[in-house]
Amino acid sequence: MSITPEQPAALDRRTVLRRAAAVGMLATPAIGLLSACATSGSDKETEQVGGGTKSAANPLGVKEDAAIEVIIFNGGYGEKYATDVHEPLYKKAFPKAEVKHQSTQAVSTVLQPRFASGNPPEFVNNSGEKLMDFGALVNDGQLQDLTELWDAPSVDDPAKKVRDTVVPGTVEAGSFNGKPYVLYYVSTVFGIWYSGKLFKDNGWAPAKTWDDFIALLTSIKAKGITPYGYAGSNAAYYQWNVILTQAAKIGGTDVLKNIDNLEDGAWKQDAIKQAATAWAEVGAKFSDKSFEGLKHTDVQLRQNQNKVALYPSGDWLEGEQKQDTPAGFEYQLMPVPSLTASDKLPVTALRATAGEGYFVSAKSKNPKGGLEYMRQMLSVAGAKGFTEVVKAPTVVTAGSEGFAFPPGVASSQAALKAAGQDVFNLYFDGWYKELDTEARAATNELMFGRINADAFVERIQKRADAIKKDTSVAKFKR
C-alpha cells in the first residue's frame, strides 16, 4: 500500500518515532538500574523484640513467641533441609514462635533492599553466585556477633559449650579480625576428583609425586580422554584454588597467610610462581581449549561421561552431579600431588574448611531468635538431619557418626583424616571480591596459554597492591 500525502498517517508516525527517540535518549539504560535500589535514608533502627527468660532450655533468652524469618539459598543443597529439619526443630523448642521461610537463588537481589531499608530478616544462608559481600556486611555492623552462641551450652549436652561440639577451625573460619560473625556449617574438602571405576578399569592410580602425575596424564591422554580440565566460563576459581593449594604445599601455609593479609609481594612468592608454571604446563598439554567457554556443570557432565578424567572441585561435587552420574561411576578424591621432594607439606595435606555461610542480622527484629536457630542447627539432630537430606557432613562432629556417606564424600572424609594436622584454608576471595575476580581472569589467561607464570603473579599482585592502598575497602587480618 502507498500512503498519499493527503493522509496524515505518515507524518504522525515520524513525529511519534522522533519523540520516542528523545525519550529513549533520556532513559539511558544502566543508570536507572542502580537507583532502583537506591534509598532515602537507611539509618532507621528496627525496633527489636525484648528478651525472654533464660532457662536451661532457653539459654540465650529468646522471646518465646517472637517470629523469626529464615532465608535459604536454594542451590546445591536445596532448601529441604531447612523446611524439613531445622525449622521443625526450632518450632518444637518454641511452639509459640512463627517461623517464616523463604528461599531464593539470588540472595543479594532479595536482601539488599531489605538491609538498605533497615528491615533485614533474622537468619540468612548467604551463598551462591549472588551472595552478599560478607566483608561489607561486617564492616557495616549488620552481622550479629556469634560469641554468645559459641559460648552457650549445646542442645544435647548442657555441660558442653556449642564451640566444643564442632570441628576445630569452624569458629575461626567465620571470624573477621578475630570476631565470629558467620557460621560455616558444611565441612568442605577440596581436591582433584576422578571416577574410581574409570581408574580401576584402566589400571590407573592417583598420583603422589609430580612425575607420577605427568605420567598419569600422559597415559590418560593416550586413551583419547582429556586428562584434566576446569570450566573457564564461571568456575576459574576452582583452578586458582589448585594452584594456591600447590603453592602452600611447596612453601608452607604462610604462603597463603601472606596473600590473605595483603603482604607486599605475597603473590610473587617463589612457591606461587613454581606452582603456576607447573599448572600452566598441564593446561597447555593436557586440557582442552574449549573448556574456557564452558560452565562448571558442562565440564562436570563431560567427566560423568568419561570424556574428562580429572576435575578440581570441593566435595559438594558428588551431590551436585547426582542426577547425571552414571551408576558405578564412584567419585574419588585425590589431593593435589607434591611438586618437589622438598615440599614443606606432605602429599596428604589439603585445603579443607567449613563452607556454606549463615549469619544472623544484628539489626533484625529478633536476633536472639536467629542465634537460637543456629544453636538448633548445631544440635546432633540438626546436623544428622542435614546430612541425611543433602548427603554432606556438617561441622558438628557427632552429626555424621555412623552415617554411610556415598563414595565421593567417604573418600574426602578419609583424605581429611589422613591429612591430620596438615589442613589449611584461605580467605582472600571472601574478604576481597575484586582480588578474586582478578585471580579468576589471570588463571584463565595462564591455563589457556595467553600469559606465563611471571605475568600471572605480576598482574594479581598489582591488583592486590591497589586494594591495599584503597582506603574505601575494609581490611581483614588473620
Partner 1 sequence: MRHGKYPFVIGFLIAPVALYVTFVIWPYAQAFWISMTNWRGLSAPQYVGFDNFRRLLDDGAFWKAIQHHGVLLLALPLITIAIALFFAFLLNVGGKSSGGQRQGVWGSKFYRVVFFFPQVLAVAIIAVLFQTVYRPNESGLINGVLMKLGLDPVLFLIRPNLALWSIIAVLVWQAVGFYVVLFSAGMASIPGEIYEAAEMDGASRVTLFFRVTLPLLWDTLQVAWVYLGIAAFDCFAIVAVLSIDGGGPDGATTVLAVEIYRNAFTYQKYGYASAMGVALFFLTITFAALTLRLTKRESVEY
State the DSSP H helix or E strand holding residue 90, giving kind and residue range, or none if neither.
Answer: helix 87-93
User: Does 469 interact with partner 1 (rule: CB under 8 A)?
Assistant: no
Closest alpha carbon to 257 in 121, 403, 425: 425
User: Does 454 interact with partner 1 (rule: CB under 8 A)?
Assistant: no
The interface with partner 1 within residues 220-249 (CB under 8 A) comprises 232-234, 236
User: Does 6 interact with partner 1 (rule: CB under 8 A)?
Assistant: no
The interface with partner 1 within residues 106-135 (CB under 8 A) comprises 108-109, 112, 115-116, 130, 132-133
The residue from 144, 170, 303, 444 that contacts partner 1 (CB under 8 A) is 444
User: Does 56 interact with partner 1 (rule: CB under 8 A)?
Assistant: no
Q: Is residue 473 classed as helix, strand or coil in its secondary structure?
A: coil
Beta-bridge mates of residue 358? 125, 183
User: Does 8 interact with partner 1 (rule: CB under 8 A)?
Assistant: no
Give the nearer residue to partner 1 in terms of CB position, either 24 or 168: 24
User: Does 25 interact with partner 1 (rule: CB under 8 A)?
Assistant: yes
476: cell is 581483614
Transcribe 238-292 into DSSP letters: HHHHHHHHHHHHHH-THHHHHHHTT-TTGGG-HHHHHHHHHHHHHHHHHS-GGGG
User: Does 417 interact with partner 1 (rule: CB under 8 A)?
Assistant: no
Query: What backbone torsions phi and psi does residue 246 show, to the nearest 5 degrees?
Result: -60, -45
Maximum separation of any 2 CA atoms in the chain, in Å: 95
User: Does 36 interact with partner 1 (rule: CB under 8 A)?
Assistant: yes
Ramachandran bin of 177, using left for φ above 0, alpha for ψ from -120 to 50, beta for the remaining angles: left
User: Does 159 interact with partner 1 (rule: CB under 8 A)?
Assistant: no
User: Does 54 interact with partner 1 (rule: CB under 8 A)?
Assistant: no
* Residue for grid cell 526443630: 89
The vertex-151 CA angle with 150 and 157, nearest 5°, equals 95
- Which string of x and - marks every residue 272-311 that binds partner 1 (by CB under 8 A)? ----------------xxx-xxx-----------------
User: Does 478 interact with partner 1 (rule: CB under 8 A)?
Assistant: no
Interface residues toward partner 1, by CB under 8 A: 1-5, 9-10, 13-14, 17-18, 20-21, 24-38, 40-43, 108-109, 112, 115-116, 130, 132-133, 136-137, 139-142, 232-234, 236, 288-290, 292-294, 433-434, 437, 440-442, 444-445, 448, 450, 472
